[in-house]
Chain A
Amino acid sequence: MDPVLITFTIYIGGMLLIGYYYYRQNENISDYFLGGRSLNPFVTALSAQASDMSGWLLMGFPGAIYAGGFNGMWIGIGLAIGTYLNWQFTAQRLRRYTEVVDSITIADFFENRFKDKSRALRVVTALAILVFFTIYVSSGLVAGGLLFENILGINYRLAVILAVIVIGLYTFLGGFLAVSWTDFVQGTLMVLALLIVPLTIISLRGGFTEVFNQIASINPDLLDASKTVSYSFANDVKWITTSENLSFISLISLLGWGLGYFGMPHILVRFMGIKSAKQIPISQFVGVSWVVVSLLGAVFVGALGIIAAPEALQNTETVFLVLLQKLFNPWVAGVFLAAVLAAIMSTIDSQLLVSSSALAEDFYKSFIRPDASQKELLWISRAAVLLITLIALFFALSGGTILDIVSYAWAGLGASFGPAILFSLFWKKTTRNGVLGGIITGGLVVIIWKNLFAYTGLYEIIPGFFLSALVIYILSYFGKDPLPEVVKEFETAMKPLENE
Chain B
Amino acid sequence: MDYNLPTVTWFWLLVPNLLIVLLSLLRFIKSKGGDS
Q: Mark A residues whose CB is within 8 Å of B.
A: 70, 73-74, 77, 80-81, 83-84, 87-88, 92, 208-209, 212-213, 216, 223-226, 277-278, 280-282, 284-285, 288-289, 292, 295-296, 299, 496
Question: For the complex, what is the distance from the CA of A225 to the CA of B12, rounded to whole Å?
Answer: 9
* B36–A280 CB distance below 8 A: yes
Pick from B8, B16, B20 the residue with the most CB of A within 10 Å. B20
* B20–A92 CB distance below 8 A: no
Which A residues are CB-close (under 8 A) to B8?
A: 224-226
Q: Known: A73-B9, A278-B31, A292-B17. Is A223-B24 also a contact (CB below 8 A)?
A: no
* B24–A284 CB distance below 8 A: yes
Having A212-B4, A225-B9, A285-B28, one finds 7 other A-B pairs with CB under 8 Å, namely A70-B13, A77-B12, A208-B3, A277-B36, A278-B31, A289-B21, A295-B17
* A209–B9 CB distance below 8 A: no
* A77–B36 CB distance below 8 A: no
Contact of B16 among A81, A225, A289 (CB under 8 A): A81
B31 nearest CB neighbor, chain A only: A281
Q: Known: A223-B9, A278-B36, A280-B36. Is A84-B23 also a contact (CB below 8 A)?
A: yes
B 5-35 to A, binary, CB cutoff 8 A, 1 in contact else 0: 1101100110011101101110110110000
Question: For the complex, what is the distance from the CA of A88 to the CA of B23, rounded to whole Å?
Answer: 9
* B4–A289 CB distance below 8 A: no
CB distance from B26 to the nearest CB of A (A): 9
Question: For the complex, what is the distance from the CA of A216 to the CA of B36, rounded to whole Å?
Answer: 47
* B4–A281 CB distance below 8 A: no
B25 nearest CB neighbor, chain A only: A285
* B9–A70 CB distance below 8 A: yes
Which B residues are CB-close (under 8 A) to A282?
A: 28, 31
* B20–A288 CB distance below 8 A: yes
Question: For the complex, what is the distance from the CA of A483 to the CA of B3, rounded to whole Å?
Answer: 60
Q: Give 4 nearest A-B pairs by CB, closest first.
A: A281-B31, A84-B20, A212-B4, A225-B9
CB distance from A49 to the nearest CB of B (A): 13
CB distance from B30 to the nearest CB of A (A): 7
* A223–B20 CB distance below 8 A: no
* A281–B28 CB distance below 8 A: yes
